[in-house]
Amino acid sequence: MKRLHVHIAVDDLAVSIKFYSTMFAAAPTVVKSDYAKWMLDDPRVNFAISARGVPAGLNHLGVQVESAEELTEMNARLQQLEGEVVEEMGTACCYAKSDKYWATDPTGIAWETYHTLDSIPVFGGPSASGCCVPEPTLVKASCCMPAQAAADGCC
């Protein structure tokens, strides 16, 4: 079964942990000095926040899979897109070692598809300040709604 992954960059980790713990009625499953993660079953989501010096707001979205086979299947889907897919095997990020693929949606939002292999004692490697999100490669939508095209000159 796949699990939706959401990662939000926050300004104040302690205040945000209190907010999300109250909202989810659950304490984080992982808490570090700059990071917290909830592995929720209701709703089934891997929700993470971090305070690592990047702008506050949505950091990236993702799909966490449970096996190498599911990751291969997800990569096959991503390869059908009209944008670049970035492969990272055995990468260290967010206190975990993972195999992953990154794609960027048409609006510039980074999507991480990954299989966690193990936990690690550090946030990541030397370049992991923003949770390893690669530089965005925008995918241009192949079409848009005719009313939108007429209204704002799109397409």
Alpha helical stretches, state H, 59-116: 68-78
Residue 126's pLDDT is 54
Sequence-distant (6+) residues with CB within 8 A of 98 are 88, 90, 91, 114, 115, 116, 117
Per the CB < 8 A criterion, the answer to whether 77 and 34 are in contact is no
The CATH-assigned architecture of domain 3-152 is Roll (3.10)
Residue ranges per structural domain of the chain: 3-152
Question: pLDDT tens track of the chain, all 155 residues?
Answer: 789 999 999 989 999 999 888 868 899 999 999 999 999 997 788 899 989 888 899 888 888 999 999 999 999 988 888 788 999 999 888 888 999 999 888 778 888 999 999 988 887 765 444 456 765 443 333 333 334 333 444 32
* SS3 assignment, position 68: helix
Place of tokens 């959401």: 6
